[in-house]
Structure 1
Amino acid sequence: MGQSKPLRATALIVEDDPMQREMICLLLEESDVDVIECESAEAAELVLERVGGSVVLMLTDVQLAGNMNGVELAHIARKCNPGIGVIVTSGRPLPQELPEGAQFWSKPWAPLDVIREAERMAYAWSRDEQGRQRRTS
């Protein structure tokens, strides 16, 4: 009999700059968090529709490939998963208001801050997940 793999928290990274996206993904993979990466908001929206409940953190740039920006994506993410942690980052002022509870990080930000936030969200998610498993057992 095979053993089931324990569920892990997932972070969604949405960044059109491949070097920035890779750097963020490497940081998060070191934090015991599964990572899904997208270069456009449209691709990220599809991910959120399919697996949004397991995504605990979404970090997105404002300027992205495609027709939708990161702020618009932040609103969609909150509709798909109201408990998701959302961080929107940019080197410029925001073009519109973020959804309630979303954070804005001005570039440049410290890589350690990304790790801390991911670990905080993953810890909260794992505690919730353990509670759900106990209630259904």
Structure 2
Amino acid sequence: MGQALCERSILVVEDDRAVRDLAAAILEETELRVVEAESGEEALHHLKQHAEEVVLVFTDIRIPCFLDGVDLARAVSSRWPWIKVVVTSGAPGDRVDHLPPAATFLPKPWRALDVLVAAEQAAEARNGLPA
């Protein structure tokens, strides 16, 4: 059963370096490893190789390249439904209306406690799933 305890992680997807660093610093307070990505494409690349380790994707809506945070949330929800997705933005516009039902929206500026609670809930939910 030791194999089931692979290193669990949180994927932070944010193009603003200062915000990404802040989210990563907050999330490093959990027992989970923090992995950072600057775009939806970079995040998907990581997930294709390490989805079994990821318990939470914490993403901004407005990220560069072709996939925004909503597109990323939809891809994660359909391909890896066990991964919790929290999408954040200070100005989501109507994109927030297109989030998949399982995703959670957290408006900016978010509080550190809200981010930690989301991470803990994701970790607890993942603990209940078979390895």
TM band (smaller chain): 0.7 to 0.9
Which residue identity lines up with residue 97 of structure 1 in the other structure?
H
Report the equivalent of 2:57: 58
Report the equivalent of 1:135: none
Alignment check: 8 A CA contact 1:10 1:57 kept: yes
Unaligned runs of at least 5 residues, structure 2:
none
Report the equivalent of 2:84: 85
- Structure 1 CA distance for aligned equivalents of residues 7 and 47 of structure 2: 16
Report the equivalent of 1:98: 99
Alignment check: 8 A CA contact 1:15 1:21 kept: yes
Residue deviations 1:57-92 (CA, integer Å, cap 9, x gap): 101001112222110011111122111111111111
- Structure 2 CA distance for aligned equivalents of residues 20 and 59 of structure 1: 12
Structure 2 length-normalised TM: 0.87
- Structure 2 CA distance for aligned equivalents of residues 108 and 39 of structure 1: 19
Which residue identity lines up with residue 53 of structure 2 in the other structure?
S
RMSD in angstroms over aligned alpha carbons? 1.8
- Structure 2 CA distance for aligned equivalents of residues 30 and 45 of structure 1: 24
Shift of 1:35: 1.1
1:116 aligns with 2:120: no
Q: How many residues align?
A: 127
Q: Secondary structure of the residue that 1:53 maps to in structure 2?
A: coil
- Structure 1 CA distance for aligned equivalents of residues 49 and 6 of structure 2: 16
1:42 aligns with 2:60: no
Shift of 1:127: 4.1
Larger radius of gyration: 1
**Mean Cα displacement is larger for which, 36-45 or 115-124?**
115-124
Structure 1 length-normalised TM: 0.84
- Structure 2 CA distance for aligned equivalents of residues 24 and 55 of structure 1: 16
Unaligned runs of at least 5 residues, structure 1:
133-137
